Structure 1
């Protein structure tokens, strides 16, 4: 296969609450895999609800920035290392996020929906006693609520994240079933000058599809969407660039001839 993706633009290290892998280990593995560049996108999820395992998504931003810049310099001849963040969007956080982005020199910003009206679908409680389709609709509606007040991110992350954790995952989910609201999300993202990501995490969750699924990516392109970044959502070295061969095929199949990376918040388009 000739198409190749050599940048992983969604990854986490021990600066994220849900990873215990040192950043340098992630960098060294990316070099071993022959990547040209990576972008760390550590989690920042303020006002994250209490969880059964007492997880909190706070970020020591100054330590993260200092460590990344040090390693970026150390490995600059072998790998392009960029400074990103994954913001856990909730409507009431818009002002604090806008202030953050004005003061910190990120290369790349992902805005993601993890918390929906006080609950993260990662935990079973979100689905308890409700139809799966109702839960999925609530998740998609929350994306529109976020976009109504905040669109300063570069891309919206894993748009159908909720499907990873549904009781039936994607056995009853399809673009067609949720077409109206997914189209509204895609049109809103495009109108606000944002992009989306192809997140291969769906493959390592056993969905057989990325997040969002192939049909949503195709629809994004049909609607005029141009900005699309690629990330494996790796929290450890074993998932870096996971299923990137499949991602390249999907991009080409959906009408893309390139993928996108960001530097200093500006998109760069790389030929497949």
Structure 2
């Protein structure tokens, strides 16, 4: 049984897919449980104009509750959100998470100092090494202060939008990665395995096999699987490849979430 805990619909700025289409595809695939995690990203510079890419939380949660009831006999649907953290937006997200009834929160870094990784603005005038180091240091400094999340999303996202022909070995940043993982474990938080790596033709998993193994070695147990899907064709994409790899790494469980509490399900 598969559990897709990272999916988007038209409540996210970068998706045009109705929520119900994602649900029906998940049912067709016989998924046991899904969680919508639509995007909330504050304070991004777009053409030198600062923008907020907000979720309409009230209508989003209202729609989720409607479909939870409509499809309750066919699939379990959980209420989540993916937040794009920056140092200066932490207080706003603390307020958001406390104000709404989420089952699950993905803490991601999409933007640093208002510069978007996806549009590659962040990489301008930086070496690959400088970009990686700033990304990992930024993530660590944020999770020292921000604790209102469930898992860290696509933890090594910095690789995806950099130079894919010259990805730097994780061991170069082993100390930084270890400190991030230790902090997450100490706080009782997890990480996700994000199968968009297959769609982006990454040379390894996201996060990498190295990071996944280190999380396990350091005592981490909370792991979710997410497709990062934005349309029905991407739902649960690559899950059949990932589950055996997780077992080979020694993982025995994946997690679902209910009211921000993990449930451990045997692989």
- In structure 2, the partner of 1:35 is 31
> Which has the larger displacement, 235-244 or 113-122?
113-122
Q: How does 1:190-269 map to 2 (within 5 A)?
A: 190-269=185-264
Q: Structure 1 residues 238 and 54, CA, compared in 2 at 3 Å: closer, same or farther? A: farther
Q: Structure 1 residues 157 and 51, CA, compared in 2 at 3 Å: closer, same or farther? A: farther
Q: C-alpha separation between the residues in 1 aligned to 2:47 and 2:146?
A: 26
TM-score by length of 2: 0.95
What do residues 2-37 of structure 1 show as CA deviations (whole Å, max 9, x unaligned)?
A: xxx511000000000000000000000000111011
Q: How does 1:85-234 map to 2 (within 5 A)?
A: 85-168=81-164, 171-234=166-229
TM-score by length of 1: 0.93
Q: C-alpha separation between the residues in 2 aligned to 1:85 and 1:54?
A: 22
Following TM superposition, by how much is the alpha carbon of 1:55 offset from its aligned partner in structure 2, in angstroms?
7.5
Q: CA RMSD in A?
A: 1.7
Following TM superposition, by how much is the alpha carbon of 1:215 offset from its aligned partner in structure 2, in angstroms?
1.1
Following TM superposition, by how much is the alpha carbon of 1:96 offset from its aligned partner in structure 2, in angstroms?
2.1
Following TM superposition, by how much is the alpha carbon of 1:98 offset from its aligned partner in structure 2, in angstroms?
1.9
> Match of 1:9, SS?
strand
> Match of 2:43, SS?
coil
Q: C-alpha separation between the residues in 2 aligned to 1:44 and 1:124?
A: 19
Q: Structure 1 residues 201 and 51, CA, compared in 2 at 3 Å: closer, same or farther? A: farther
Q: Structure 1 residues 238 and 53, CA, compared in 2 at 3 Å: closer, same or farther? A: farther
Q: C-alpha separation between the residues in 2 aligned to 1:91 and 1:129?
A: 21
Higher strand share: 2
In the alignment, does 2:72 pair up with 1:65? no
What do residues 200-254 of structure 1 show as CA deviations (whole Å, max 9, x unaligned)?
A: 1111110032211111001000000010111010011111101101210221122
Following TM superposition, by how much is the alpha carbon of 1:121 offset from its aligned partner in structure 2, in angstroms?
1.4
> Match of 1:189, SS?
helix
What do residues 38-72 of structure 1 show as CA deviations (whole Å, max 9, x unaligned)?
A: 00001111222225899852111111011111011
Q: Structure 1 residues 120 and 229, CA, compared in 2 at 3 Å: closer, same or farther? A: same
Unpaired stretches in structure 1, ≥5 consecutive residues: none
> Match of 1:83, SS?
strand
Q: C-alpha separation between the residues in 2 aligned to 1:12 and 1:70?
A: 17
Q: C-alpha separation between the residues in 2 aligned to 1:203 and 1:81?
A: 25
Q: C-alpha separation between the residues in 1 aligned to 2:109 and 2:59?
A: 25
Following TM superposition, by how much is the alpha carbon of 1:112 offset from its aligned partner in structure 2, in angstroms?
0.6
> Match of 1:261, SS?
strand
Q: C-alpha separation between the residues in 2 aligned to 1:190 and 1:57?
A: 30
Q: C-alpha separation between the residues in 1 aligned to 2:138 and 2:169?
A: 18
The alignment of Structure 1 onto Structure 2 pairs a total of residues equal to: 267
> Match of 1:48, SS?
strand
